[in-house]
Amino acid sequence: MERELPFITISGTEFLIEVENLQLVQRGNPANTISIFEMDDDGNGYSFNYCRNNKTIQGPGWQRPDLVRVHLPELVEMDPEGMAAKYGLPLSDLKGKRDLDVMVDKEALELRLKGRLPTMEIAGHVFYVDIHMDMLRPHDDFQSKGIRFEDLEIYYDNEGTGEYIIPYHPGRREFEDVDLHNMVEFPKDLILVGFPHERFLDPIGCNRKAGYDKLHGLKKTPVKTHFSARAVDLKGTIFQRIMDRNRGRLEKKESRGRRPKQGPRKI
């Protein structure tokens, strides 16, 4: 039997507390949701400006007379049963804990705060995620130059997988840039690998670099100690489409060059 979700009332409107997706859902209007990640998180609950007319969170630039400031308790207070089920904990374990304590891997967080860098394995080789140096730094191969994040900007798949997809030389254990404008075949000594943006690899390191509180955003971007890059099939990637386009352009150019020259026109 499906559990009946608890609810809260905001300015006369009931919202279900949907812990599974970490959001409020208007009763009778499931399309109207308010994510906790849209709210201000002060570590002891959530606050936001609520528009009574639209029954939603304040949008950018809104200056309306029907706005009210709303403060909500932690999810562990509003729906402890749901939080225990979502994170696989006994209900008794939630006593005295905040949402952050439940949602974040405690061991991974403690290790990172003590200075241990996350690691990333690429094709069997381990790199440190070193945000201070802006790179994936080789774990034990000092012949490798490592992989600098600033060199990967054009290889970030913002509209697709939301990760870096890069050409990688497994022999040299390095990223290798390719000539996207002229490439018609993918280099045989390279492979394609994919891995998350650095803000997901080391959110604490990124927070420190940006001057944010070290725990900022960890509920949405949890701390992990280790990652593994995935092998990416060339087929269907932007690299394949670029090579197809380059071949087509080259074939058109060659075709124009093979056209027979016309003789002088007769008058």
The 10s digit of each residue's pLDDT in 228-239 is 999 999 998 889
Domain positions in the chain: 7-94, 106-252
pLDDT tens for 43-97 read 889 999 999 988 999 877 666 778 899 999 999 999 999 999 999 999 999 999 9
CA distances from 263 to 54, 256, 260 (A): 75, 17, 9
As a whole number of angstroms, the distance between CA 242 and CA 246 comes to 6
pLDDT tens digits along 247-263: 998 888 777 766 666 65
Distance, CA of 118 to CA of 135 (rounded, Å): 12
- Those residues with Cβ within 8 angstroms of residue 30's Cβ, 6 or more apart along the chain or in another chain: none
Strands 226-228 and 119-122: parallel
Residue 62: what pLDDT? 64
